[in-house]
Structure 1
């Protein structure tokens, strides 16, 4: 029996709203792929992967109930430690461990179609597993200066390992001009950090060779998808679009195109 109790509001990411803590649990409204989230979290528990919350069921208000994972989570403004290299590399290793754990889950048939504009060009990037796809600073719990757990699995979807590493580098290299980055991330040697993240993850050379081209094509899709979601879903999607996320994505594309050769050389050095 899942008990109710005092609700303490939690700060979610850019989209998640209505997140609360009750005792040692987190209550959150179901997302667009709540059944997939439930099944993946149950699989991760079954195979003994400790870097994710446990799925406990549904409460009387129809919210998902997950275990609360204590630790450091980077909100806004970003904490001073956000650009720490060792933290980023520990996250790459955690992401690899997640992939190795979830690979046996497979890719279910007849998943709900993602909410994206009709006619969006295909990526030609065959999926290999169910990826987290949202490894933002808000969605990683750190303990003792190391990535301990991934949280907020609402963006789960079939992806390639390379596609997931693109998402990792997007936030933790990170990709983009200094003017578009949080102050703590400015002035970093991004090609070097990309190489270190790829090494820590254990990314194979064929994937390293195509990584930046994949990142550019994913950004093109992301611009159209963000705009579409803002128009039809509103909420946090509309807020992000109004705050200029579309311009940031376009700036990032330009930066990736400009630095593609340098980053790829670093990845393969």
Structure 2
């Protein structure tokens, strides 16, 4: 199997786990404070990753050649999680997911600007189309003639921007550190920062609550492990557009688990975003 194909398979598997993580997180927002949810997500992430690496390799590869970059990457993930979790507490999962899919477009743009990866004019056109879809999914009153949407619907756009930076840092670290080191560091700074506020917000979980909090950490750890593996094998400009497959799973989860069926604006915006993603993802011409 070629590195590019294996990277794509790792990426697609990670996306399924991320939808499972989002579903569990939305369930938890009805019972627990958001800072507590985010802290436990990273706590159980660190525990599961440490156990898995210890069993698989017999050691914990925590020494990094770029500790500052690893810390910044971990903190960007905290910010993305907080923004998206707040959004999930107020808007349907399908709506939040549709807006957050600006992230692959931003990732491709940053791959060109930061990583100096080649991005053709067609891919730039795809990015522009995708952002038009984000605008539709946000339902601005001048476009829909309706009341403004819930203010929290703008938060996934911030998630998209922050997560695009996270993906670029993941790709940069792939050339510096072992993927096991990167996945171990993913939760360290995040866990330490979110632990500070726990004395002020902690709500004792029930047995089911503990199970869901732990499950969120396991889903997140497994998803980010696969994501690190993907970005260590394939370029960011190839992998980022595959994120649009997550639209299908997010829509199904929103409808089947929460009974939130997406409306016409969400579906139209998601379709336009996916169309832009297809333009970005199409392979270039051979010389």
* TM-score between both structures, scaled by the size of structure 2: 0.28
The structure with the largest helix share of the pair is 2
Return the structure number with greater relative CO, CA threshold 8 A, min gap 6.
2
